[in-house]
Amino acid sequence: MAISDKDVTWVEEPEMTFWEALFVPAIIDGLRTTARHVTGYKSVTQQYPEQRPELPMNYRGVHRLNKDDAGRVKCVACMMCATACPAKCIDIVAAPAPKNEEWAGRDKYPATFVIDELKCIYCGMCEEACPVDAIELTHIYDLVGTSRQDLTYDKEKLLDVFEQTKNSGRDPIRTHMGRLGPASEFESLPPLGPATAVPTGDKAARGVSSGVISS
């Protein structure tokens, strides 16, 4: 759709002055800016393998399955995460908990719990959805494997990740229910409304609830 004439304004560009028309002084000026980067050289590069990045606390990396106090998998196989997952990459087979001493007080547990880490988009929805804080995203970001199988994480691998990360200090285990995950814990509330000033009359910036067509 073409922009209508009344949404467009014409601007007269400023005339060049004599010095600008010569071009050479402007180029020398530019060269001076370039040279300043070389003389006052300060690299912003992080030398990755030696220098590890300082990730924000709400970073979302590889999943883990938490264990409860008795060392059993915390998950109650409610399928909330698999339902919430937009990438449909969680596959759970639920089973009744064995009637023995070890599983006292639990009636359902995941017989298998598989996450395809390649399909996952690391959105954190699963950890938001879990009613018992059983699934959490950790800070592990350097996930490599030589086959698809390597990156399909089953229950054992996910519990392993828990053992690796529980004491790292960067992935605290959330034991209280009801609070949102670290992904949504802001230091301070974000400002309301758009971050940049929007001109009045900009139709695109007007808040419209979905399904409502404005003028």
Partner 1 sequence: MNDFISASLVINIVLGAILGGCSYLIYVERRLAAFIQDRVGPNRTGPAGLFQPIADGIKLFIKEDVIPGHVNLFLFILGPSIAVFTTMLAYAVVPFGPPDQIQFTLMGMNLDFRFIIAPQIDIGMVFIFAVGSLAVYGIILGGWASNNKYSMLGSLRASAQVISYEIPLGMSIVGLGILTGSLNLERLVLHQAEQGFWGWNFWAQPVACLIFFVAALAEANRLPFDLSECEQELVGGFHTEYSSMKFALYFLAEYTHVILVSLLTTLLFFGGWQFPLIAEVDSAYTGSALVKVGVLLSKAFCVIILIMFLRWTLPRFRFDQLMGLAWKVLIPLGTANVVMVMTVKHFELPSWWMFPLSLGLVAVVGVLSVPNSKTRYGALGMAGGRTRIAADGVLPPGLGKRIPM
Binding site for ligand SF4 (CB under 6 A): 75-81, 84-87, 89-90, 92, 115, 120-126, 129-130, 132, 134-135
Q: Which residues bind partner 1 (CB under 8 A)?
A: 3, 6-24, 27, 30-31, 33-35, 37-38, 41-45, 47, 197, 199-202
Q: What is the CA radius of gyration of the chain?
A: 27
With CB cut-offs between 5 and 8 Å by kind, which of ligand SF4, partner 1, none does residue 10 bind? Answer: partner 1
CB 193 to partner 1: min, Å: 17
151 in Cβ contact with 143 (< 8 Å): yes
Query: Is the torsion defined by CA of 160, 67, 121, 92 positive or negative?
Result: positive
Q: Decide whether 86 or 98 has the Cβ nearer to ligand SF4.
A: 86
Q: Which residues pair with 40 in a beta bridge?
A: none
CB 4 to partner 1: min, Å: 9
Q: Decide whether 37 or 176 has the Cβ nearer to partner 1.
A: 37
61 in Cβ contact with 138 (< 8 Å): yes
CB 60 to ligand SF4: min, Å: 7
With CB cut-offs between 5 and 8 Å by kind, which of partner 1, ligand SF4, none does residue 20 bind? Answer: partner 1
Measure Cα distances from 75 to 24, 28, 103 in Å: 70, 66, 12
With CB cut-offs between 5 and 8 Å by kind, which of partner 1, ligand SF4, none does residue 11 bind? Answer: partner 1
- 3-class DSSP state for residue 13? coil
65 in Cβ contact with 159 (< 8 Å): yes
